[in-house]
Structure 1
Amino acid sequence: MSLSIDISGLRRERIAVVPSPLAELGMALHALAEPGHHPGLQGWATGVTARLDPHLADRMCEADFLWRTTFSDLFLPYAGIPGGATLPGASFAEELDLLDKLTDEQFVDAALEFTCALPYDAQGAGALGDTEARRRALELAAARGPRQVRFTTRLLDDPPRIRAWLRQFLEDCDEAFFAETWSRLRHQLAADARHKTELLRHKGLAEALASVSPAVVLDEAEGRITVDKMGQGRTTASGGLLLVPTSLGWPHLMVLHRYGWQPVLHYPVGSPQPVAPPSVEQLTLRMTALSHPVRMRLCRSLARSAFTTSELAQTHGMTAPEISRHVAVLKKAGLITTRRRGRYVLHQLDVTMVARLGSDFLEGILR
């Protein structure tokens, strides 16, 4: 599973690394709504929540589907401007102005991304102009409660009113807590953007992408960027490609690949991410290897001591070939180590690797 960006024919100067205050506010709202995704931000989230005006807190709940799951593409509005080459604004106010430049259709489709199940990386009918898409949006909103039904109905009936509401809400968030947060974060993000730009200029795109995340790989021969994620999709960077850093985003590595929009890689900086996190394929292999009851029993033995194949066969009442097949699966998944002692080969569970599975799995599904 992966997301791919076709960059064949894209000129180097159309690739930019730029911080985005509006995208960082979107991530801040996500971290406040889902603190479990971001354990490293619990102190910040607790401090913000404690001093939040109750009325603003209620308004956060009113449309939290725009940022609770991840955060809506509305927080990256420059990607939707025709031409596919618009950069983020230099200030928060400029980015709100870019949000105002999206058409009502773009705004509504992006706002309903998580509730309407609209086509994302292909052209399709939007909820604002298609009766069936509207019905489905309201039906899916109903499954999430009356608050979301009310908001979705107002959005479909009167997009300008909701757009004005959202802009005012974002301005109020900026005044209440985000301006202070951004003043602390923007220097780190600007420094990272300069570093990535220098890599891009002097060492090439492959080096710049490798510094973003080991999960992002460039195939220069094919002219394609592949992002290892538990999802599938594809897009083409015909006008430009944006790399947008975030200080609040780890472990999320997000790819905007909406049809007709400029592709964006929204990546975390300063994260505790390991140098080489396991790929989705590796995670799948390990989880599958441990799902078999016989291999689970073998792991119980191998966690305590090293055993030969013959010893395992005798202990578990199985033949040596049967044990060898199960051991081979665990070894291929990287869950056991082997060493030779004379003419004997000893197998033992890699306890550290198994202990990391939970955090690796969580980072993989949140990436």
Structure 2
Amino acid sequence: MSLRIDIAGLRPERIAVVPSPLAELGMALHALSEPGHHPGLQGWVTGVTARLDPHLADRMCEADFLWRTTFSDLFLPCAGVPDRTALPGATLAEDLDLLDKLTDEQFVDGALEFTCALPYSLPGPGALADAGIRRLALERAAARGPRQLHFSERLLAGPPRIRAWLRRFLEDCDEAFFAETWARLRHQLAADARHKTDLLRRKGLAEALAAVSPAVSLDEAAARVTVDKLGEGRTATRDGGLLLVPTSLGRPHLMVLHRYAWQPVLHYPVASPGPVAPASVEQLALRMTALSHPVRMRLCRSLARSAFTTGELAQVHGMTPPEISRHLSVLKKAGLLTTRRRGRYVLHQLDVPVVARLGSDFLEGVLR
């Protein structure tokens, strides 16, 4: 399984490696919401959380589905600018100005990506234009609790108000903790971007992509970039460009923005992985047996990012609910899942800290 970027006709000057303050803020919010994904950031997360204003912490929970699952494409708004060659801003304010340039339709579709399961790499109607998709979005939001339902209702009823809310929230996060973090990280990210740009100029795209991640490869004959992930998707540079964005807070996530009509983006980690504690022999044997089935591997990829009901997983993976239930039972018996009830819905999620003890290769495989 893989994500593919067709680059036929892509000119070298249309390939750029540029840090994004807004994308890094998105990863900061993700790490604060899902610290189990980032064991190497425990000290930073603890420090930020300890001094976080309670009111800002409450606001952080209001729309956390935009960054908890991974992070929304809204954190890379430059990719949605119509000419498909825009670059991230040099400052957070410039990135937020790019976010303001997205249409209401782009903003809503990006915000509802993890709720609605809209057509992502293919053209199709959005939630503002299609009543059926709008109903589906609200039904799925309801399955995830009243907070997400309330936010989705407000978003669909008045996108401009939510857009203003989000910009103000991100500006307050910058003032509270991110400006200090960005001042520390931006030099590392700029240095990595210069290094990758130098590789592009001296040795070509294949060498630069190999330096990004061993999971990224270039087939020059087919004019295609392939990213090895437990998921499928396809996009193309068409008449636009290809953007590489480094992240220091994002490891182990290697993400590909492949939304239809947006500029393709590789968002890749530059920091070193943290140490992984060994598992006991008995637990390792039980858990590796549970993970030996390819369907359960794919389920783990979904469950690592968010909690899902059995019905949602059945729809996403094209299986029946009983089939999904049998696989979930095996994973749960191995101690790899957490389960919680919310009203009439039962939500399942991968226990990422437990998975981390199996080894960094597997963890990076399901999270990248």
TM-score, structure 1 normalization: 0.78
- Structure-2 residue corresponding to 1:120: 120
Which residue identity is paired with 1:126? G
1:1-367 superposed matches below 5 A:
1-238=1-238, 239-272=240-273, 291=292, 358-367=359-368
Q: Is the 8 A contact 2:52 2:176 kept in 1?
A: yes
SS at the partner of 2:231? coil
Label 1:35 to 1:118 Cα distance change in 2 as closer, same or farther (>3 A).
same
CA offsets per residue over residues 139-193 of structure 1, 9 Å max, x none?
Answer: 0000000011100000000000000000000000000000000000000000000
Q: Is the 8 A contact 1:251 1:273 kept in 2?
A: no
SS at the partner of 2:87? coil
SS at the partner of 2:199? helix
Give 1:291 shift.
4.8
Task: Quote the RMSD (CA, aligned, Å).
Answer: 1.8
Q: Which runs of 5 or more residues in structure 1 are unaligned?
A: 275-285, 293-354
C-alpha separation between the residues in 1 aligned to 2:94 and 2:291? Answer: 51
Which residue identity is paired with 1:109? D
Q: Is the 8 A contact 1:249 1:268 kept in 2?
A: yes
Question: Which has the greater radius of gyration?
Answer: 1
CA offsets per residue over residues 17-76 of structure 1, 9 Å max, x none?
Answer: 000000000000000000000000010000000000000000000000000000000000
Label 1:7 to 1:154 Cα distance change in 2 as closer, same or farther (>3 A).
same
Give 1:198 shift.
0.3
Label 1:155 to 1:289 Cα distance change in 2 as closer, same or farther (>3 A).
closer
Q: Is the 8 A contact 1:196 1:208 kept in 2?
A: yes
Which residue identity is paired with 1:28? A
Which residue identity is paired with 2:272? S
SS at the partner of 1:120? coil
C-alpha separation between the residues in 2 aligned to 1:290 and 1:154? Answer: 40
Matched positions, count: 294
Which residue identity is paired with 1:186? R
TM-score, structure 2 normalization: 0.78
Q: Is the 8 A contact 2:108 2:128 kept in 1?
A: yes
C-alpha separation between the residues in 1 aligned to 2:289 and 2:144? Answer: 33
Q: Which runs of 5 or more residues in structure 2 are unaligned?
A: 276-286, 294-355
Q: Is the 8 A contact 2:18 2:190 kept in 1?
A: yes
Which residue identity is paired with 1:218? L
SS at the partner of 2:217? strand
SS at the partner of 2:144? coil
Q: Is the 8 A contact 1:251 1:271 kept in 2?
A: no
Q: Is the 8 A contact 2:249 2:271 kept in 1?
A: no
Which residue identity is paired with 1:118? L
Give 1:125 shift.
1.3
C-alpha separation between the residues in 2 aligned to 1:19 and 1:130? Answer: 35
Which residue identity is paired with 1:9? G
